Amino acid sequence: MAKKRVMVAMSGGVDSSVALAKLIDEGYECIGVSMQLWDYSKKEDNKGATGGSCCSLDDINDARGVADRLNVPFYVVNVEEAFSKEVVEYFVASYLNGQTPNPCIKCNQVLKFEVLLKKALGLEADFLATGHYARIIKRENGYRLLKGVDKDKDQSYFLFTMNSDQLSRVLFPVGGMTKNEVREYARAKGLRTSEKRESQEICFVEEPSYADFLSSRVEAREGEIVDGSGRVLGSHGGLFNYTIGQRKGLNLSGGPFYVLDIDTVSNRLVVGQAAELYSGGLIAKDINWIDHAAEEAFLKGGLKGISSKIRYRHAGVGSTLTPAEDGRIKVAFSDPEKAVTPGQAVVFYKGEEVLGGGWIERAIK
């Protein structure tokens, strides 16, 4: 019987390196692939290093070295055009619209599980594998997405846009492992990435901060900082410098003040006290359901007993989901939550399983 063929997406980190090694040990025929996402020439320092970013030139070299060590073919796929359009332009446009984007979710959605998966199938691979800390199970009515075993590293939040067909063609080999186990596996295999540190930066931002990146591409418009009553407290140098809940960088006397709203229509930054950051729920749009049985139950009368994560490191809050206008969802929290941020994702869980999710449009009291 012929071996199943897997294209392994390699970021140059230890997780995708172990994903490749583990699949080889399990008897799969593997191909290693890295995506060339961005021109990193401006980001390199005088030693050719690129700091803590992911998918940099150094990362591609590390991925190639691991593939060579494990004796599998390795290729680099240039997806710069798609990345620029689908991720970078989205990133810039979101901030200009007063939202806080999540480029990693968009990259996963478009680049990995659309573009790269299509390339894998075009090469007659049976599966695409990545180093995500998440798990996939097969049920009678389709494939489901579960949290990773390592709760500190679980990345299921970033994968809510997937569907059952994609999940049937994707493998997450390290989803059932802890980070320590992954590093031990890499050491045992002698992989050069075994001690490599975690990626910390937005991979395409060459400048010292995302605000500098945006300033180099769009014109900053100065405006007023006001409180909830409209009283002018100061001025800002461009709304894209701020996000909901931010306290630092406001340069206001009194306080402390926190960003409550980013009003792009009037070009005003609305600030207030910490207690004003709490909301009883939110409205989400562009909903994707992985579990269609949950979707059907929701459409018939809503869903109760759901846990909603409103940002990656959020612990989750008990929620009731009900239909809202134009296909949107109203999420009512069991307890008020702090800093509900438009542009971020809200992901719905039932225990360990991801039911689906959407994009936060606005908070509701």
Catalytic residues: 107, 203
278 touches 336 (CB < 8 A): yes
Q: Reduce the secondary structure of 112-141 to three states and give it as a string.
A: HHHHHHHHHHHCCCCEEECCCCEEEEEECC
Two tokens, residue 24: 């080889």
Long-range Cβ contact pairs of 236-243 (< 8 A, separation 24 or more):
236/269, 238/211, 238/214, 239/95, 239/98, 239/263, 239/264, 239/267, 239/269, 240/95, 240/96, 240/211, 240/214, 241/211, 242/269, 243/100, 243/341
198 touches 12 (CB < 8 A): no
d(CA 304, CA 320): 4
Nearest alpha-carbon partner for 19 in 68, 61, 66, 82: 66
d(CA 102, CA 87): 9
61 CB-contact burial (10 Å; exposed 0-12 / middle 13-18 / buried 19+): middle
